[in-house]
């Protein structure tokens, strides 16, 4: 997989908004990327959940369930326990975590995109979970929360969209309490011969046309596919999580590396 130089090693002599980063296969300034990403998610918000199922053949549900199993939220309802689900979009992870806990924990979905949050709020209300899940607009790079506030931090299929990934990881570390859990689920690098070819063919030739059929526009899905190919390899990403201060960092691949779940602790 072709990759730019690791973001954390780029020259710091330029203004942050001019730092090159990738918007899919296009190189843009960090300052430009967020607006382009926001445009993608404004366009797909209404059909996001349907497209997730179509694009991953339902596999995103399996990977998300595995993430929540590893998180193992408490079920007792003893002391208060709060999850921060960043780039939480329509609230898929938070809904699962709250349900897994027997509806005893609280979750905050934080996302930069109001269109995605609006779909999530609606879903939580219909599921009768509005008292336990709150939706808050915010940037992963500058979280609007105090230090040492949350018991766990999750980010699913969100981190690759963030222009300054090391900054977002440092923010994750800042808002977690000591003993807090960090979990990141992301599309990753396929390490199974042949599967990588099939996956590439499916991603580039099937996903954008499905996107066009379902939403009337294939371009946002081209970005999603390209952005997956630009994301750092599992090992490098684990290193970036360590550089942000997390300890006992591990990862596991799902479906031959189509997705990977990285985990760490704030100790
Ligand atoms: C692919 S969706 C994932 C949504 C959800 N976590 C899931 O797994 O279904 C990516 C989300 O990242 C959000 N996002 C992109 N850049 C962000 C940023 N800088 N801060 C917070 N959220 C961001 C988008 O608005 C979008 O909702």
Predicted local distance difference test score (pLDDT) of residue 18:
58
Residue 35 lies in a domain: no
Closest listed residue to residue 124, CA positions, set 140, 138, 136: 136
CATH code where residue 250 lies: 3.40.50.150
> CA-CA distances (angstroms) from residue 129 to 121, 125, 126, 148, 151?
9, 6, 8, 25, 20
Predicted local distance difference test score (pLDDT) of residue 25:
76
The size of the chain, in residues, is 267
Cα-flanking dihedrals φ and ψ of residue 25, to 5°?
Answer: -90, 0
Q: Is 157 in the pocket of ligand 1 (CB under 6 A)?
A: yes
Residue 177 lies in a domain: yes
Predicted local distance difference test score (pLDDT) of residue 4:
36
Residue 200 lies in a domain: no
Q: Is 116 in the pocket of ligand 1 (CB under 6 A)?
A: yes
Residue 165 CA to residue 261 CA, distance in Å, equals 16
With 0-12 / 13-18 / 19 or more C-beta atoms within 10 angstroms meaning exposed / middle / buried, residue 31 is middle
Angle at 159 between CA 153 and CA 160, to 5 degrees: 165
Which segments of the chain have a pLDDT < 70? 1-19, 77
Q: How many domains does the chain have?
A: 1
Q: Are the CB atoms for 51 and 214 separated by under 8 Å?
A: yes
Predicted local distance difference test score (pLDDT) of residue 17:
55
Q: Is 158 in the pocket of ligand 1 (CB under 6 A)?
A: yes
Predicted local distance difference test score (pLDDT) of residue 7:
33
Q: Which of 96, 111, 168 to mutate to test the pocket of ligand 1 (most atoms within 8 A of CB)?
A: 111
The token duo for 244 is: 């942000």
> CA-CA distances (angstroms) from residue 26 to 5, 34, 37, 153?
15, 13, 12, 30
Predicted local distance difference test score (pLDDT) of residue 6:
35
Q: Which of 95, 157, 158, 225 to mutate to test the pocket of ligand 1 (most atoms within 8 A of CB)?
A: 158
Q: Is 183 in the pocket of ligand 1 (CB under 6 A)?
A: no
Q: Chain-centre distance of CA 108, in angstroms?
A: 14
Residue 175 lies in a domain: yes
Residue 98 lies in a domain: yes
Q: Is 87 in the pocket of ligand 1 (CB under 6 A)?
A: yes
Q: Which of 45, 89, 154, 259 to mutate to test the pocket of ligand 1 (most atoms within 8 A of CB)?
A: 89
Distance 71 CA to ligand 1 centre (A): 20
Closest listed residue to residue 165, CA positions, set 37, 26, 1: 37
Q: Is 135 in the pocket of ligand 1 (CB under 6 A)?
A: no
Residue 257 lies in a domain: yes
Closest listed residue to residue 106, CA positions, set 171, 152, 159, 173: 152
Domain that holds residue 143: 57-194+233-266
Residue 27 lies in a domain: no
Residue 185 lies in a domain: yes
Torsion of CA 128, 131, 132, 134, to 10 degrees: 110
């Amino acid at each position: 997989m072709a990759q730019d130089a690791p973001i954390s090693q780029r020259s710091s002599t330029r203004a942050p908004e001019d730092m090159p980063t990738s918007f899919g296969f296009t190189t843009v300034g960090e300052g430009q990327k967020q607006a382009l990403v926001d445009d993608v998610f404004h366009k797909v918000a209404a059909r996001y959940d349907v497209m997730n199922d179509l694009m991953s053949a339902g596999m995103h549900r399996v990977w998300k369930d595995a993430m929540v199993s590893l998180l193992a939220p408490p079920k007792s309802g003893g002391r208060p326990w709060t999850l921060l689900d960043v780039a939480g979009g329509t609230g898929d992870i938070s809904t699962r975590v709250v349900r897994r806990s027997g509806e005893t924990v609280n979750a905050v979905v934080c996302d930069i995109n109001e269109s995605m949050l609006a779909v999530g709020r609606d879903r939580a209300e219909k599921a009768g979970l509005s008292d336990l899940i709150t939706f808050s607009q915010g940037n992963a790079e500058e979280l609007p929360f105090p230090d040492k506030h949350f018991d766990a931090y999750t980010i699913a299929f969100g981190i690759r969209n963030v222009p300054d990934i090391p900054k977002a990881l440092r923010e994750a570390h800042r808002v977690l309490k000591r003993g807090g859990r960090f979990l990141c689920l992301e599309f990753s690098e396929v390490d199974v011969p042949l599967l990588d070819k099939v996956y590439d063919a499916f991603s580039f030739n099937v996903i954008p046309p499905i996107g066009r059929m379902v939403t009337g526009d294939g371009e946002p899905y081209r970005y999603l596919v390209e952005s997956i190919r630009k994301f750092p390899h599992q090992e490098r990403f684990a290193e970036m999580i360590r550089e942000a201060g997390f300890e006992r960092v591990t990862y596991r691949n799902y479906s031959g590396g189509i997705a990977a779940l990285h985990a760490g602790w704030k100790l």
